[in-house]
Structure formats: structure tokens, C-alpha cells
Amino acid sequence: MSTRLRSLGPFALLTALLVAFPLVAPENLVNSAVYAAIYGLAAIGLSLLMGLAGQVSLGHAAFFAVGAYAQALLVTKAGMPIAVAALVSVAAAMLVALLVGLPLLRLRGHFLALATLGLGIIVSVVVRELEVTGGTSGIFGVPKPEFNGRVYDTPQEYLWLLTPFLVLGLYLARNLVRSRTGRALGAVNDSEVAAECLGVDTFALRLRVFVLSAGYAGLAGVFYAHWISVVSPDASGFELSVQMLLMVVLGGLGTVWGAVTGAVAVEALDEGMRAAIPRLVPGASGEVQLIGFGVVLVL
């Protein structure tokens, strides 16, 4: 029992940190923390995919965008309650992943990376062209979430709303890594042939991890939609996919905690850069990645 308790220690610490942070930090830092937490959720999913299944997704923003757009549409156009809409939106992101993954995960190597890259671009073209998604301007007026009469509209409140999801998401991911599934996937990464000979169904496992990771991205998209209240094609851009990838790589492959650290690091870099070179605001993310690249190389 005591080892189980001890293994929960880091999670308790993170929870405490997230709860206490908004009380002591200035508002603009809390604001950044909200973004870090949102992208962190998506990065956890991507980290599972890369670390466990050994696959890269170069279009993870597609699932993020599916979650964000579905949520925005369901809440503003269909008037669905937020919690129900969130469930549907996450399911939608996972469904897209299932449809793409079903035929593609049978292939090895580069194929998933390239197909997801294609998917990311198709999603971003489609949301820009379709009328229902509001074209280039996107969907406006996604309300701030409200539960039991409490409105989560300040960065502080929103971070608190995010905390249980982030911690729980991390806990689930950590458990998955340590579970039978996680160990089986580790074996697959070491030697696919050996693992398959021992009866590991590689394809089914990879597909499950891929769909799950899309679910994380979808959930992040849902939170994103409510937080910035406008969902535009930016949410599906290639830049965002690269940023997520960078978070995972910076944090270190194969550890779910790394995804969160990576998200914080990338968000901090992004903010720092935006302050340092306002002249190049549209290119700011490029600068961030230039630095990230140095670290990437070392890995």
C-alpha cells in the first residue's frame, strides 16, 4: 500500500502546484500556464503515441482542431450543454483517428507520420473552406464554461478547472505505460518480430494508443475552444502540430511527465520570444523552433 501511495506523490505535488500557482503568480503568468496546461494535455497523448507505439504524428493539430470545432459548433449552434458537447467532441476526434488509423497502422515506418501530415492539411483546408465552420474567421462566441452557477472566466479559475483533467490524464497515461499494454508495446519497439511471436497483437495495440492520443488532443481542443472563445483555422495549422511535437521531444521521449515539462518549456519560450521580437510576430513560432531544434539535435 505504501508503495502505491508513494507513486501517487508526484501527482499530489502537481495538483498542489497547480492549485497554488494562480494564488501567488501574476495574472499574465497564470494565463501562460493555462495555455501550457491545454497544450500539455495534447502533448501527453502525442507522447504516448511516440514513446509507446513508436509512431510520429505530424498532424496532431488535426485532432485538436476536430475537438475544438466540434465543441464550438455543438455549443454555439446546437445549444448543447457543455459537458455533453465535450464528450461528443472528444469522441469525434477519436473517431477520426480510428478511421485514419484502421488502414494505416498496419504499415510500418514513415507511413503514419506522412498520412497524419496529409490529414492535418486536409482538415485545415476543409475548415477554412466550409461555411459551417466559418471560413477563415472561424467560429465566434464560444462561452466561458459555467457549472453550478460558477463561471470559469479568469485564468485563475480556468487553470483550476483544467487541473483535475490534466492530473487525471497524466495518471491514466502513466498507468497505461506501466500496464500490460505498455509493456507489450515496449516489447514491440524493441523487436517487433519477437513480440509478435509471443502473441502481441501489434496492430490492435498501436491503433488503441493512436485513438487514445487523438482523444487527448480532442480534449485539449475542447478546452482551447472555451478558453479563447474563437476557433479559427489556426487551431489546425502545421505550426501547431510541430509545436506539439517539440513539446514531446523537449520533454524526452517515453515519459509522460516529459510532455508536461515540454509544454511548459515551449510555452515559456513562445512567450519570451513574443516579447523579445515583436517585429516578427507572425514568424515568432519559427524562432522558438530554431532554439528547440538545437535540443532536438542533441537527443
Partner 1 sequence: MSDLLQLVFAGLAHGAVYGLVAMGFVAVFSVREIVNLVQGEYAALAGLSAISAVGAGVPLLAAVLLVVPLVVAVAVLLERVAIAPVRRMTPLVSIILTLGLSTAVKAAMLLVWGPQAQRLPPFPGADVVVGGVSVRAQELWVLGVTAVVGYGVIRFYEYTLLGKALRACAEHPVAARLVGISPRRATMVAFMVAGLVGAVAGVVGSPIYLSSWDSGLTLGLKGFVAATLGGLVSLRTAVVGGLSLGVLENLVAGYGSSGYRDAVAFVVLLLVLLVRPRGLNLRSSGARV
Binding site for partner 1 (CB under 8 A): 50, 54-56, 58, 100, 103-104, 106-111, 113-115, 117-119, 121-122, 125-126, 128-129, 238, 242, 245, 249, 253, 280, 282-283, 286-287, 289-290, 292-293, 296-297, 299
Of 9 and 294, which CB lies nearer to partner 1 in the complex structure?
294
Alpha helices in the chain (DSSP H): 2-24, 27-51, 60-76, 82-104, 111-129, 155-178, 180-190, 192-197, 202-228, 238-251, 256-276, 284-298
Beta bridge partners of 150: 147
Nearest-approach distance from CB 296 to partner 1, in angstroms: 4
Nearest-approach distance from CB 249 to partner 1, in angstroms: 6
Contacts of 248 (CB under 8 A, 6+ apart): 43, 46, 47, 50, 51, 258, 259, 262
Residue 246: what residue type?
L
Of 7 and 189, which CB lies nearer to partner 1 in the complex structure?
189
> How far is 10 from 22, CA to CA, in rounded Å?
19
Helix (H, G, I), strand (E, B) or coil at 157: helix
Nearest-approach distance from CB 131 to partner 1, in angstroms: 12
Of 114 and 184, which CB lies nearer to partner 1 in the complex structure?
114
Nearest-approach distance from CB 258 to partner 1, in angstroms: 14
- Best CA proximity match to 127, nearest among 76, 216, 78, 65: 65
Nearest-approach distance from CB 153 to partner 1, in angstroms: 35
Of 117 and 219, which CB lies nearer to partner 1 in the complex structure?
117
Of 157 and 287, which CB lies nearer to partner 1 in the complex structure?
287
> How far is 5 from 194, CA to CA, in rounded Å?
35
Provide the grid cell at 87.
Answer: 464528450
Nearest-approach distance from CB 298 to partner 1, in angstroms: 11
Phi, psi of 147 (to 5 degrees): -125, 135
Of 146 and 239, which CB lies nearer to partner 1 in the complex structure?
239
> How far is 40 from 219, CA to CA, in rounded Å?
11
